[in-house]
Structure 1
């Protein structure tokens, strides 16, 4: 078995500072003496090494899964070692969580599964037979390639594949074999292209953002399936109460998409000061926020009391007395192109949950909509210097364009963000224009102003984050800030995304 020193030699910055026979305690002592730059290099080098080890581990998990299939019964690899499943076996061997073991098995199985590669595809009349033609591979072959060359981690691979789901089923009774084969091939190509797009975005997105973006793209590619999945989740909604062993009543709640968004925005409206929401508020709201921050109750207790207050107040609740000036509500965004055509899928402003277009129509019927016209760079309004702060329509436009905090790796939704002027109001005579504003959560807004960071933009190009020292750090000294979510048009298909669109916000 390799010694600690053997492993450390694979980490150049660390291995060069250890003597033969060194152990973990000595390595920790050596790292305490390293410079900031060296310790960051150690972290980066171990991350590269971990990716390579992870590739081997998921491949081993995949082989174990193949050799543990149900049809092998008790002679299967996992069963013969006393485990119910491959995931249980992997968890036992690696000491990982159940979720992590299941993920390793899913990714490992995908590496060996070619069931989609050529099923149901007849050979052309003048071409080679199916046996003679090379199999095109499953739609997620780009994910396999990216995992193999280190562009994706197993976790990112799993998030993209689960988010994009499976290819839509084709009704065999309504089309002939040739049409069915062509439709399947077109779907495979579209899903593969979506996978390529998400691979390119993986370095700039969190795993959660990758999964959500993959789900949105899947719904855009398969709007009929999106409607079906939406209704299936609606049918699963439930609420039940039960008593625990201690005799205390408990509750279990399964939410549909709309209920999930409403509950989340209701909690956010009431608890935002506790969760790091905007600090630029009027005096009454500022006093209320300070009172909430000083409240001795935990967030869970405050959430419970809020739910009970809403239930007691019912339909006649005074929104201001429960939520303050920020009344809870769900805001949906639906793209309308220059020709008046609406996208088949809408998404929530916060958390970027995709929903069928019918959900937006239902919301508009209930509460109306706010039209905001943007170009492809998100530059709809210019109010000059008459306004120090961004006006409501501009805040809506920023939320639509940015999707949330644009700081590298941050996942805070738009309702938790403040509008930052990249040109200082006093120092640079900055203008309150959309193209000179960007959404940042409170923490990162304060980090920028108090830590010496800068954000720049050349015209309507990319927003660029600059480290105060300009030196290599955990972030590069100059980082292009990606959108929290890609615009609703994912850039798939033959038609380019429209240059102008009008999101309908309800």
Structure 2
């Protein structure tokens, strides 16, 4: 069945079932309402496919090289997205998605030979299974776009693996939301390409920003772009404070039950409550009373790593984290090993490991005085404790003599840029950059002369 005949069939089905006005819809039975909705959804999916194909053709005829003679340009638009947006009346994001899908479909189309006007067979692209499913109606445009954007462009030589991944994700499409499907595709991509996962993680980290401004009415605004870990931390804060409003667990403690009831009955909107929670956290700072602000559960980001897997994931949301980010998290929060059987059923939960105690952190602060990275002046209270011997790779121990203080930025930089810190016995800590000579790390403590005095004058 071609697109046009399927489109007509859907139109006829909707026309036969759908009432002519709202008054008639109110008179339909539940089953009839569902039937109308199903017909309208099928019609919408066919329309999306036809529109995407047309947008793809328009994109091939609106290239920069075509100048003002291109299809979109000749109609007064800078590009195909602007043309599609005007014709559809939708948002720019929806128009961009339609063009992306159309261009993907065009990649799998066989071009015509000008001499014979017959199609010349070409090797199908890795995402051909997705295009075929879209053409058959087994995949919606939104689902295909979620998989395409989640998987991204395969690395050189990875097209066949990406094709298999696309086929596997097709099996997930029918019982996942579009958001979950995109996240699953991202997880598969990072498992298959751990080096690319780290590069993408760092690229998102570099885009982090916070900006405030005041409009002409004196209203203060802010814009913030999160890195992956920052976003997970803020979600954890909001979720911990808002869980009674979001159907969280029932409480057996009477004080916590009463607090949950007050939150549910609070006249503020969810957005206002979230704002007030964040302001409370900012005001409280490092000495925040977790029980007062969040109740019985202090927020935090838990990372889950399957043994021998190249990437980890946040427990809530399943957002992927590359191996260096996992190692950094282990330095700061420790880890708990869970043994599972081949079906994923938990067999044993080990004890918490790999974490400096509060007393050890004090000792590190006395010795290091702050971040030991050359030229950094961040104080000790703002630093994280780094294990110079990685737990898995080097059999690292959580000993004061094998740890140093690093600020968050340099801690992340060390893990992601492949620096290493070593120490021979009780000698100095030495930083080994990946592409430079070793650098001796000097403590910043004003008391360092007590255990590392300068040589005496002759």
**TM-score under structure 1 normalisation?**
0.62
Structure 1, gaps ≥5 residues long: 1-5, 19-23, 118-132, 170-183, 337-341, 383-392, 395-506
Which residue is equivalent to 1:93? 87
Deviations 1:368-418 (A, max 9, x none): 222222223343369xxxxxxxxxx79xxxxxxxxxxxxxxxxxxxxxxxx
Which residue is equivalent to 1:374? 340
Q: Does residue 244 of structure 2 align to residue 244 of structure 1? A: no
Q: Distance between the aligned counterparts of 1:199 and 1:375, measured in 2?
A: 26
Deviations 1:8-62 (A, max 9, x none): 98353751687xxxxx32xx44433332222212222222222222211111111
Which residue is equivalent to 1:260? 231
Q: Distance between the aligned counterparts of 1:9 and 1:333, measured in 2?
A: 46
Contact 1:142 1:196 in 2 (8 A): yes
Which residue is equivalent to 2:102? 108
Secondary structure, counterpart of 2:154 in structure 1? coil
Question: Which is higher, the Rg of structure 1 or of structure 2?
Answer: 2
Structure 2, gaps ≥5 residues long: 1-6, 112-119, 351-458
Taking a change above 3 Å as real, the CA distance of residues 264 and 162 of structure 1, as seen in their structure-2 partners, is same
Which residue is equivalent to 2:146? 159
Contact 1:147 1:157 in 2 (8 A): yes
Which residue is equivalent to 2:272? 301
Secondary structure, counterpart of 2:346 in structure 1? coil
Match of 2:78 among 79, 84, 91: 84
Q: Distance between the aligned counterparts of 2:23 and 2:73, measured in 1?
A: 44
Match of 1:218 among 184, 189, 192: 189
Secondary structure, counterpart of 2:133 in structure 1? helix
Secondary structure, counterpart of 2:44 in structure 1? helix
Q: Distance between the aligned counterparts of 1:95 and 1:292, measured in 2?
A: 41
Which residue is equivalent to 1:58? 52
Q: Distance between the aligned counterparts of 2:10 and 2:203, measured in 1?
A: 53
For residue 253 of structure 1, report the CA deviation from its aligned partner. 0.9
Match of 1:291 among 257, 262, 265: 262
For residue 329 of structure 1, report the CA deviation from its aligned partner. 0.1
Q: Distance between the aligned counterparts of 2:194 and 2:163, measured in 1?
A: 17
Deviations 1:212-233 (A, max 9, x none): 0000100011000001111111
Q: Does residue 29 of structure 2 align to residue 35 of structure 1? A: yes
For residue 326 of structure 1, report the CA deviation from its aligned partner. 1.1
Contact 2:56 2:105 in 1 (8 A): yes
RMSD: 2.5
Secondary structure, counterpart of 2:11 in structure 1? coil
Q: Distance between the aligned counterparts of 1:75 and 1:17, measured in 2?
A: 43
For residue 331 of structure 1, report the CA deviation from its aligned partner. 0.8
Taking a change above 3 Å as real, the CA distance of residues 90 and 380 of structure 1, as seen in their structure-2 partners, is same
Match of 2:170 among 199, 216, 220: 199
Which residue is equivalent to 1:208? 179
Which piece of structure 1 moves more, 312-321 or 215-224? 312-321
Q: Distance between the aligned counterparts of 1:360 and 1:349, measured in 2?
A: 13
Taking a change above 3 Å as real, the CA distance of residues 251 and 17 of structure 1, as seen in their structure-2 partners, is closer
Q: Distance between the aligned counterparts of 1:9 and 1:378, measured in 2?
A: 43
Taking a change above 3 Å as real, the CA distance of residues 8 and 138 of structure 1, as seen in their structure-2 partners, is closer
Q: Distance between the aligned counterparts of 1:228 and 1:207, measured in 2?
A: 25
Taking a change above 3 Å as real, the CA distance of residues 235 and 12 of structure 1, as seen in their structure-2 partners, is closer
Q: Distance between the aligned counterparts of 1:144 and 1:136, measured in 2?
A: 14
Q: Distance between the aligned counterparts of 2:287 and 2:268, measured in 1?
A: 26
Q: Distance between the aligned counterparts of 1:14 and 1:286, measured in 2?
A: 53
Which residue is equivalent to 2:312? 346
Aligned residues: 335
Deviations 1:483-506 (A, max 9, x none): xxxxxxxxxxxxxxxxxxxxxxxx
**TM-score under structure 2 normalisation?**
0.68
Taking a change above 3 Å as real, the CA distance of residues 29 and 230 of structure 1, as seen in their structure-2 partners, is same
Q: Distance between the aligned counterparts of 2:88 and 2:27, measured in 1?
A: 32
Which residue is equivalent to 2:41? 47
Contact 2:10 2:42 in 1 (8 A): no
